[in-house]
């Protein structure tokens, strides 16, 4: 999906994240769910999930909130916003948050907001009691070698639905 090449056929290298990307990312990571109208359960039940993966050309960020809000955007400024208007996306979003709820014990409370490095994935649970974070190699998550592999695969289900909707628009 995100493997782009330049005119010579070589993989593109990452450039500085676009301002629009940094703005969207900051809005989510500092979002007050009550102000946004999200129903929040006390404690560590997640009202949102942010999954970010570092690629050679930049970073891909998936955002899923408990009200169905779902977006996928890249540090180069592209993306898909508004996926939560589609039933299949909402279903996968809800499934992701449910799977994430079962893996909070493997995550670390954190306020740190760094971006992932090349080949790394950071999964953030957003909850009333704060953020929890887990970082791993994307390959380990994808190959089932990580305790949060089920969360990663649930997130891939959301991304698949977003891609299908985006492809149907073309």
The predicted model gives 133-162 an average pLDDT of 97
Per-domain residue ranges of the chain: 19-169
**For residue range 149-167, what is the model confidence (pLDDT) as tens digits?**
999 999 999 999 999 988 8
Residue 152 or 20, more confident = 152
Containing 122, the helix (H) or strand (E) segment is strand 120-127
Do residues 123 and 146 make contact, with C-beta atoms less than 8 angstroms apart? Answer: no
**What are the CA-CA distances from residue 65 to residues 20, 30, 53, 130 (Å)?**
19, 13, 18, 15
Which three-class secondary structure state does DSSP give residue 139? helix
Question: Could you give the percent of the chain with pLDDT greater than 90?
Answer: 69
Pairing of strands 108-109, 130-137: antiparallel
Q: Encode pLDDT of 90-107 as tens digits.
A: 999 999 999 999 999 999
Q: How far apart are CA 146 and CA 151, in angstroms?
A: 10
Secondary structure of residue 120 in the 3-state scheme = strand
pLDDT at 139 over 50: yes
Coil/strand/helix, residue 53 = strand
Helix (H) or strand (E) holding 20: helix 19-29
Nearest to 49 by CA among 106, 119, 101, 117: 101
Q: Which residues contact 159 (CB under 8 A, 6 or more apart)?
A: 1, 62, 72
Could you read off the pLDDT of 59-94 as tens digits, one per residue? 999 999 999 999 999 998 888 877 778 899 999 999
Residues in the chain, total: 170
Task: Give the CA distances from residue 169 to residues 23, 124, 157, 162, 164, in Å, rounded to whole numbers and listed in that order.
Answer: 26, 30, 19, 11, 9
């Amino acid at each position: 999906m995100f493997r782009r090449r330049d005119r010579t056929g070589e993989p593109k290298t990452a450039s500085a994240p676009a301002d629009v990307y940094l703005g969207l990312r900051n809005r989510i990571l500092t979002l007050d769910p009550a102000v946004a109208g999200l129903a929040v359960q006390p404690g560590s039940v997640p009202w949102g999930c942010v999954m970010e993966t570092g690629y050679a050309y930049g970073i891909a960020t998936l955002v899923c909130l408990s009200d169905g809000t779902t977006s996928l955007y890249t540090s180069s400024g592209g993306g898909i916003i508004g996926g939560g208007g589609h039933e299949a996306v909402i279903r996968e979003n809800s499934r992701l948050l449910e799977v994430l709820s079962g893996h909070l014990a493997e995550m670390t409370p954190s306020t740190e907001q760094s971006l992932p490095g090349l080949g790394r994935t950071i999964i953030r649970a957003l909850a009333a009691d704060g953020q929890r974070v887990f970082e791993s190699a994307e390959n380990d998550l994808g190959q089932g070698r990580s305790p949060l592999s089920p969360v990663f695969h649930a997130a891939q289900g959301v991304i698949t639905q977003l891609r299908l909707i985006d492809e149907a628009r073309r």
